Every structure is written in C-alpha cells, then in structure tokens.
Amino acid sequence: MGALTRSFDWSQTSIGTPENWQQSLRTTLGIVLHSAFPMFLFWGDDLICFYNDAFRPSLGADGKHPALGKKGREVWPEIWDFIGPLLQRVMSSGEPVWFEDQLVPFFRNGQIEDIYWTFSYSPAYDDRGEVNGVFVTCTETTKKVMVFNQLHDSERRFQDLVTDATVGIIVLIGEEMVVEIVNDAYGHLIGRTREDLLGKPLFSVIPESEADFRAILDGVRMNGQPVHHSERPYFVFVDGERKDGYLNLVYQPYRGGDGSVQGVMILCQDVTVQVIAKLQMEEIVTERTRELATANRHLQRSNAELAQFAYIASHDLQEPIRKVATFTQMLEAELGGTTDRQRNYLDKIKNASSRMLLLIRDVLAFSQLSRDSDLVRKIDLGLVLDNIADDLELLIDQKLATVSYGGLPVVEAVPLQMAQLFGNLISNALKFTRAGVAPVISVSARLLDKAALKSYPMLDTRCNYHHLEVSDNGIGFDEHYADQIFEIFQRLHGKKEFEGTGIGLAMCKKILQNHHGHIYATSREGQGAVFHILMPESQSCFADSPTV
C-alpha cells in the first residue's frame, strides 16, 4: 500500500499532493502504513481514505479496493448512516469510540456481507493540534462471532430439546444432587414446577424418594456406568397426597468438560397407564386360566363319570336280561310241549331279551371306545380287512357276496378300533342288501391330495390323509339323511326289515374322531352307498392335540 500511496495522483483530491501535506499527516500515515495491524485513516473535511496492507483483505476480493484517496462517504455509502455520525462525533468532540463484535455489513466480494468488527475510532490531530481526521484500528471478528453464534444456537436447541421433551429429564450435580437442568415433563411426574426444583438438592424437594433412588444415583455417579430400569414403581407426595406410578428410567453419568463425572442425568418415561393395563390383563388372564382349568377338571371328571356310568350301567344291565333270556329258554325246554299261544309268548320274550342284550352290548362297546394314545400302533388296514373277511366268512357265503379290497395303507391307529370300524361297515353292507341282488362290496384307498384336503375344513392341512372308500350295491339311502345316520340310535329302517341297534355308525364316527379323521357317506336310494373315510397316516402329526 506504501507504493500505491506514493504513486497515487493526489492532485485531484481536497488534501492536495503529498509535498504539501502537514507533518502530522505524514507521521500518522507512516504509522498506518508500517503497522502489521489493520489500520485505516480518514483525513480532512472529505474524510479521505488511507489504509494499510493489513486492512486490505477486509475490503474483499471484488469490492471497494482500491479505496485509497476517495472520500469516506463515497467508499462506504451503504454504512455511512452508521459510521458517518460516529466519525463526525470523533472529529468534533475529540473523544475516541470503541466497539466490540459490531455488525457492520458492507459491500465486498460482489455482495453485501454481514461483517463483524471490533474497532476503535481515535482522533488524529493536524500540525495545529486540531482534530483533522479519524484514526481507525480494527479487526474483523466475523468468524469468531459466527462460531459463537453457532455455539449459542446449539446451546439453545439443546435447551429447547430438554424443555420440550415429553420424557422427563433432570440433571443432578454432585453428592448433594443439586438440580441443574430439569424440564416440565419431569416436574409433571412428581407434581412440581421447574422453579420448585432448579438449584435445589433433589431429595430436599422429594425426600420420600430418597430411600428408593439415592443408592442408584450414587452408584451411577461413582461408577460412571449407565443403569436402565423398566417399569419401576415410584411414589411421591403432592400436596400431602400420595401419587403412585411406574417409570422406565435411564440413569446416565453426566460429564463435565474434562470428562469427569459430575453428576447424573435421568431420563424417565411415565408408563403407569401401560403397566396398570398390563397388570390388569395379567390378572384377567390368570383368572381366566384358573377358571378354564377348573372347568376342564370338572369336564374331565364328568366325562370320566359318564364313561364309568355307561360302563357300569351297560355291564350291570346285561346280567338280568341275560338271565331272562336264558331262563326263558330253560323254561321252554322244561315245559316240553307248548300251545301255539304259549310258544308265541315265549318267542316274544326271547326276541325282546336278545335284542335288549345286543343293545346293551353295543352301548357298552361304544362307551369303551378308548382315546388312549398308548394303544396307537402302526397297522396294515389290509390285514384288518383279512381278519374281518375271516370272521364274516359264513355270512359272506350265505349272502353269495363278493368282498374285494386291495392297496390299503398302513396307518397309525388303535388296532381294535380299526377292526370295529371296518367290521361295522362291512356288516352293514352285508345287511342292507337288495333282494335278489348278490352283494358286491369293495374297499379302496388313495392319498388325499393337498387340493382336495382344503375342501375338508375339519382336517389339518399339515398332515397326510388317506381317503378310503367302502362301497356296496345295496339299498343305499336318501342323502337327505347322510348326517343323521351317524348319530347314535338313528335308524332309517324298521326293526323287522333290518335288525340292528343304531349304534354301529355312531361308533364309526367316534372312532374317526378319536383318530382326528372324518367319515361321511354318499348314496342314491336303491343304488348302493359309499362310506368315505379320511384317515390320517400318522397320529404323531397331532401330538399337540390330546384326542386319541
């Protein structure tokens, strides 16, 4: 700037060329130009501008420089309203002025910039000892101010965050646990205002909590390790009334600038409503479970009693009726010759009693259908049918019937019940025949595919089933009664037409229930019937449901 000042054409300015300048100006200017600290000088009535190399960067890359030799008002029009009066005051009063971090936005780098300054304006005297200029030392503090402002903003945001947080926040300092920071949410939890708490030891405000919480807080402060508590009960007295609640708590060591633990920050969330709802729910569930267990016990007991009753009743009922039948026959033999009427009465007694006996034995068999999983074995249904064909050989021959079966699967089942199931179905097929038509009975099986499985909602889609069909060419039945025939004691025919107790198909249904399977029948009257059995391959598939 020294060279620039020397080479400048000063003749056009109000202060004239340098050889005519006063000694005081030269001296002051010498100080300015030789200083490494940013300096500026306004001189004369026009406040002609001088500045040094240190000040030069403050004018920016694209802006006022070179301002040398120009009038102050021309160089600083945008801030003249601010600095003009200041300069005039210094000029007229001779009193210096000083500003720290003052915002003085002006044009540089192609735009108006917010620039902060710390500066002083001092009077500069001429050779006569009169104030004839203003000597400016200044330093730009924009960066420092910016950093300070950011810090301030960040501090304010932190304060806002704490204040507006919905979780309770409190910072306790030192062994005394003096409240340094606390928000409204925390105050609300203990029924106090922030003013009640700030600057006071926490347990002087809520002494009732000291027993429950002091040890935890001391631990966190001394160990420097955070602690979490969920659904912790607490209570405080608010205006003499006890307030109870539950909190989720985080105790965090609160560190100072040097990293040492100075206290504890507590974050707490009120979970009273949730905990109470949960406790109530648990209580309801416990109560319901207890009720259910009781009901289940009662049900098991009455089931057992019912089974026991059916067994005892059937068993004991057999005795007298068997004797009636037997003694009737013995009487008949003893009587020797009888009249037709006597014989007729004796026949009626014999028929009624043997029918009663059959009925009782069937009821007994029905009541004894066991659901005990210990009896389950792997069993070849082909062998079951072999045995049934043997047992019924006489009847099959008498009826000139054809019984065919093949490709039957091995399944997990109670063997006796499989014999009862197929025994009942084959016996029925041999019983409900059409006059003059030789019975043709067949038993077949196939795996139930997954698509077909979906059409039986009572079956479990995770298990494999065999679909067995027992078909005949007998009298069939009206499909209207397709469900009814499986109910106990339901008969579609008079006793004179077809003998039977109405228990056989009910047994079949119960056996399938015991094995998690299903049975149903399709038919057209006079055109035979098909009994469909959906039998699980394995009972272990139902391990979680204790039926068989």
What residue ranges bind other proteins (CB under 8 A)? Answer: 315, 318-319, 321-323, 325-327, 329-330, 333, 353-354, 357, 361, 364-365, 368, 416
Min separation Cβ 375 and other proteins, Å? 9
Query: What minimum distance in Å lies between the beta carbon of 548 and other proteins?
Result: 16
Which segments of 336-377 does DSSP mark as H helices, in order? Answer: 340-367
Nearer to other proteins, 354 or 387 (CB): 354
Distance CA 176, CA 278 (A): 36
Return the number of the residue (205 or 357) whose C-beta is nearest other proteins.
Answer: 357
Paired residues of 362 in beta bridges: none
Name which of 370 and 547 has its Cβ closer to other proteins.
370
Nearest to 499 by CA among 357, 368, 344, 318: 357
* Choice between 323 and 377, CB closer to other proteins: 323
278 or 315, CB closer to other proteins?
Answer: 315
Q: How far is the CB of 374 from other proteins (least distance, A)?
A: 11
Nearer to other proteins, 368 or 540 (CB): 368
β-partners of residue 172 are 179, 264
Q: Which is nearer to other proteins, 164 or 319 (CB)?
A: 319
Q: With respect to other proteins, which residue has the nearer C-beta, 132 or 367?
A: 367
Q: Which of 41, 107, 90, 39 is nearest to 70 (CA)?
A: 41
Residue among 155 and 347 whose Cβ is closer to other proteins = 347
Phi, psi angle pair for 138, to nearest 5°: -150, 155
Q: Cβ closer to other proteins: 144 or 323?
A: 323
Nearer to other proteins, 279 or 330 (CB): 330
If residue 113 lies in a helix (H) or strand (E), which one and from where to where? strand 111-113
Residue 332 beta carbon to other proteins: minimum distance, rounded to whole angstroms: 9
- The DSSP code sequence of 214-262 is HHHHHHHHHH---EEEEEEEEEEEETTEEEEEEEEEEEEEEE-TTS-EE
Residue 12, judged by CB atoms within 10 A of its CB (0-12, 13-18, 19+), counts as exposed
Q: What is the DSSP letter of 393?
A: H
Q: Are 204 and 217 in contact (CB under 8 A)?
A: no
Min dist. Cβ of residue 330 to other proteins (A): 6
**Considering the complex, what minimum distance in angstroms separates the CB of residue 365 from other proteins?**
8
Which residues, in sequence order, are CB contacts of 494 under 8 Å at separation 6+? none
Nearer to other proteins, 250 or 416 (CB): 416
Reduced to 3 states (helix: H, G, I; strand: E, B; else coil), residue 495 is coil
Residue 499 Cβ, how far from other proteins at the closest point, in Å? 14
Spatial CB neighbours of 26, under 8 Å, sequence gap ≥ 6: 18
- Token pair 């000063």 is found at 10
Compute CA distances 166 → 189, 213, 240, 492, whole Å: 11, 22, 26, 75
Distance CA 207, CA 200 (A): 12
Q: Looking at this protein, which amino acid is placed at residue 377?
A: R
Q: Give CA 29 to chain center in angstroms.
A: 79
Minimum Å gap between C-beta 325 and other proteins is 5
What's the min distance (Å) between Cβ of 303 and other proteins? 18
C-alpha 410: how far from its chain's center?
Answer: 45
CB of 542 to other proteins, least distance (A): 23
> What is the nearest approach in angstroms of other proteins to the Cβ of residue 357?
4
In whole angstroms, the minimum distance from the beta carbon of 404 to other proteins comes to: 28
Spatial separation of the C-alpha atoms in residues 232 and 378, rounded to whole Å: 56
Rounded to 5°, the CA angle 459-463-465 comes to: 70
DSSP 70: S
Give min distance, CB of 508 to other proteins, in A: 17
User: Least CB distance from residue 313 to other proteins, whole Å?
Assistant: 13
Q: Which of 175, 265, 256 is nearest to 215 (CA)?
A: 175
Q: Give the residue from 110, 93, 98, 261 showing the smallest Cα distance to 172.
A: 261
Q: What does the DSSP assignment read for 397-444?
A: HHTT-EEEE--PPEEEE-HHHHHHHHHHHHHHHHHSPPTTS--EEEEE
Alpha carbon of residue 202 to chain centroid? 37
Task: Indicate the residue among 148 and 345 with the shorter CB distance to other proteins.
Answer: 345
Residue number with CB closer to other proteins (326 or 342): 326
